[in-house]
Amino acid sequence: MPSWQDFQPFIVTGLALGGVYSLSGVGMVVLYRTTGVLNLAFGAVGAMGAFIAWSLINTLSWPAALAYLACVGFGAAISLLYGMLTGPSLAGRDPLVKAAATIGLALMLLGAMSWIWSDKARSMVLPTTNWQYSVGEVQINWTQIIALALGVFVTLATAAFLRRTGLGTAMRALANDREITAALGVPVRRVEATTWLVSGALAGGAGLLLSNLVGLDAATLTFLVISSLAAALIARLRSLVVTLLAGVVIGLVNAMATPIFSISSYRDMTPFVLAAVALLFLARHQQISFARRSR
């Protein structure tokens, strides 16, 4: 059994990764609750944003800050575009169909990424990664701090936003019942558009952070969405705070298993196993009912 010292660096990486999982998880949960779309292209959108930022910096030599903004902007734009184009035709359909449609978007983005940026390996290093300091024997950089802080901040801010503002109330109403909300005079399409925009921006931000923390690789970043999805699933696609906690726990457990030799190579199973167990546990009393299924 490794000593406490061996775990310390992995606590930091775990917390940072967990922060990004939470960030993505919250983005997915809010979108799902408001529009009914579980966006499986969340990772692909962020990854493409990160690639665009990389190209802007390294080939067009844009200032870094502007390129990062472009990444977030791309995420927001492509998500909004997708939401507006597919929203009306898919509005009344089963959540499963809506989720399957986002697989279409994910595949298109993945194909485009591996086509355009396939020639060589790339890496993205945010300037904040170079600002390091040590606590005890552990090196911490600002990217990791930002990742965790952003996860916590976005969760709390979103929760407060949903509770306090008019738009937030409209979003919660939509999550309850789309038809009744529309009948009450809430501009449904506009509220949904806003949600897509914000969720897409979160995807861009998460992609940017992950490209630094994990690596700039199209397939990896696209399928990392499954880990964030696990956090959202543990929260039953419902609670933002549980999503945050689940994301951090997944990140932590995953990273902390690294120094334990016997389970080290199985550590990537963490999100899958936790989500599967949680889902099965939560569904243990579920029965077929005639009632309309709530989201």
Partner 1 sequence: MRVTRPRIRVRHPATAVVLLLVVLLAMPQALSTYWIDVLTAVAIYSVVALGLGLLMGRVGLVSLGQIAVLALGAWVAARLDFATSIPFPLVLLIAGTITMVLGTLVGLPALRLSGLYLALITLMLAGAITVVLTTTNFPNGGPGFLGHTESSFGNPAVRRPGIAGGDAAYFRYTVIVAALMFTLVFWHVHSRPGRAWAAIRQSEPAALAAGVNITTYKLWAWALASFVTGVAGGLLAGSVGKLYTYQFPTRDSIILLAVVLMGGIYNLWGAVVAGALMKLLPALLDNWGLPPDLLIILFGAGVLQVLLTAPGGLAGQVPKDLARLGQRLATLSGRRAPEGEAP
In the complex, the residues that contact partner 1 under the rule CB under 8 A are: 38, 86, 89-90, 92-97, 99-101, 103-112, 114-115, 118, 219, 222-223, 226, 229-230, 233, 265-266, 268-269, 271-273, 275-276, 279-280, 283-284, 286, 288-290, 293
At its nearest, how many Å lie between partner 1 and the CB of residue 207? Answer: 17
At its nearest, how many Å lie between partner 1 and the CB of residue 68? Answer: 26
Q: What do you get for the CA distance between the two ends of the chain, in Å?
A: 44
At its nearest, how many Å lie between partner 1 and the CB of residue 31? Answer: 14
Q: Which is nearer to partner 1, 111 or 127 (CB)?
A: 111
Kindly give the residue spans of alpha helices, DSSP state H, lying in the chain.
Answer: 4-35, 42-58, 64-90, 95-116, 142-164, 166-176, 178-183, 188-213, 218-223, 225-234, 240-256, 261-264, 270-282
What distances in angstroms separate CA 205 from CA 46, 131, 138, 143, 181, one per listed residue?
A: 7, 19, 26, 12, 30
Q: Which is nearer to partner 1, 59 or 118 (CB)?
A: 118
Which residues contact residue 241 at a Cβ distance below 8 angstroms, ignoring those fewer than 6 apart? 155, 159
Q: Which is nearer to partner 1, 27 or 205 (CB)?
A: 27
Q: Which is nearer to partner 1, 150 or 229 (CB)?
A: 229
At its nearest, how many Å lie between partner 1 and the CB of residue 77? Answer: 18
Contact call for residues 184 and 173 (beta carbons, < 8 A)? yes
Q: Which is nearer to partner 1, 12 or 31 (CB)?
A: 31
At its nearest, how many Å lie between partner 1 and the CB of residue 213? Answer: 19
Q: How far is CA 290 from the centre of its chain?
A: 33
